Each structure stands twice: as C-alpha cells, then as structure tokens.
C-alpha cells in the first residue's frame, strides 16, 4: 500500500461522481521533509500539493476505471488545471470529490474539488482547499503502435483492497 493516497471511498455514483477521504498523519515520512525546521524557523509539516493532485488522480482514476468495469487501462494523461489555496496539516482529513465531465472510448475528463476537515474545529465542517481538473487516457485505445501487457496493471491489488474495504463491489 505504498502509493495509495486515498484511504476510503465514501460515495460512488457510477460513471458520474466519487468521493474519497484521506487522513493525514504525522507518521507519514513526507510531512517531516515538507517542511523541516531550519536554524531560524520551526518545522511546518503540510501535505504537499503534488500529493493532493495524486490523491485526486486516484479518486478520479478509480471512478473512470469503474465506469468500464476496470477493463480499461486508465492512465493520468493531463493535469488540465490545478489550484491549491490552503495548507493541510497532520490530524486533518482531506476529502476528494471527482466528477466525470466527459467519457468515451479513448478516455475521460474529470472535474474535482478538494476540501479539508480540521478536527480541532470540526464545527466549521469541510472547508475548500482547491480544484483539480484531469484527463485520463484509455491506454489500449491510444497505443501509437505500442504493445502493452494483457492484464490490467493499472488497477492492482491495492486498489481492489481499497474498494473492498470501502464496501464497493468490483465489477467483473
């Protein structure tokens, strides 16, 4: 489970929308390097924006993969737009909401919003962090003469475990 940046799927409307959460913890190695203390400044552990984009890519990617029963090899092809306006620190929960805006045989476009729940101020509810719009390619329809393995190497055991522990049936 080394490269899983979402913990649980909380909502799935097939071919339309998926919501997933990630709990950020101080035991995550990257928080200690982002940003470490200096001689003059105390450490500032915040979730890297790039990993929040990855979290959205996993959320939206599973939604797109689920749409075709995980038969397509769905790969992130383009970050069309990404805006992250707020920091997320340890002990907070990130919520990713991805929606498919268009999908066809060749790929899909998704729109996404990122929010955060600060459990120390839970009464304020989820607050906006940013937006991430993505494009995915269905690899077998965009081979450019290349050959890929038959088995679906994109959606491996980690994703299957995520779906199963979230109570979502895996098609096929």
Q: Which residues lie near other proteins (CB under 8 A)?
A: 77-78, 80, 101-102, 104-107, 109, 135, 137, 141-145
107 to each of 60, 128, 132, 134, how far by Cα in Å? 12, 28, 17, 11
Please identify which residue in the block is written with the tokens 């928080």.
Answer: 31
CB of 87 or CB of 105, closer to other proteins: 105
CB of 83 or CB of 106, closer to other proteins: 106
The active-site residue out of 34, 66, 141, 151 is 34
CA 68/CA 170 separation, integer angstroms: 11
Q: How far is the CB of 167 from other proteins (least distance, A)?
A: 32
CB of 98 or CB of 162, closer to other proteins: 98
CA 97/CA 95 separation, integer angstroms: 7
CA 81/CA 135 separation, integer angstroms: 10
In the residue annotation, 34 being an active-site residue is answered as yes
Q: How far is the CB of 111 from other proteins (least distance, A)?
A: 12
CA atoms in the 13 A half-sphere facing the CB of 167: 4
Q: How far is the CB of 122 from other proteins (least distance, A)?
A: 38
- Catalytic residue numbers read 34
């Amino acid at each position: 489970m080394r490269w899983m940046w979402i913990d649980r799927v909380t909502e799935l409307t097939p071919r339309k929308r998926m919501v997933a959460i990630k709990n950020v913890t101080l035991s995550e190695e990257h928080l200690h390097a982002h940003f470490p203390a200096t001689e003059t400044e105390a450490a500032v552990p915040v979730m890297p924006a790039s990993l929040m984009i990855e979290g959205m890519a996993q959320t939206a990617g599973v939604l797109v993969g689920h749409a075709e029963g995980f038969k397509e090899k769905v790969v992130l092809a383009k970050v069309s737009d990404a805006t992250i306006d707020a920091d997320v620190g340890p002990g907070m929960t990130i919520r990713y909401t991805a929606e498919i805006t268009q999908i066809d045989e060749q790929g899909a476009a998704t729109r996404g919003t990122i929010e955060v729940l600060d459990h120390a101020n839970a009464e304020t509810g989820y607050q906006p962090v940013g937006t991430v719009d993505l494009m995915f390619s269905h690899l077998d329809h965009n081979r450019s003469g290349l050959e890929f393995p038959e088995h679906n190497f994109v959606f491996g055991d980690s994703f299957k475990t995520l779906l199963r522990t979230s109570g979502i049936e895996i098609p096929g």
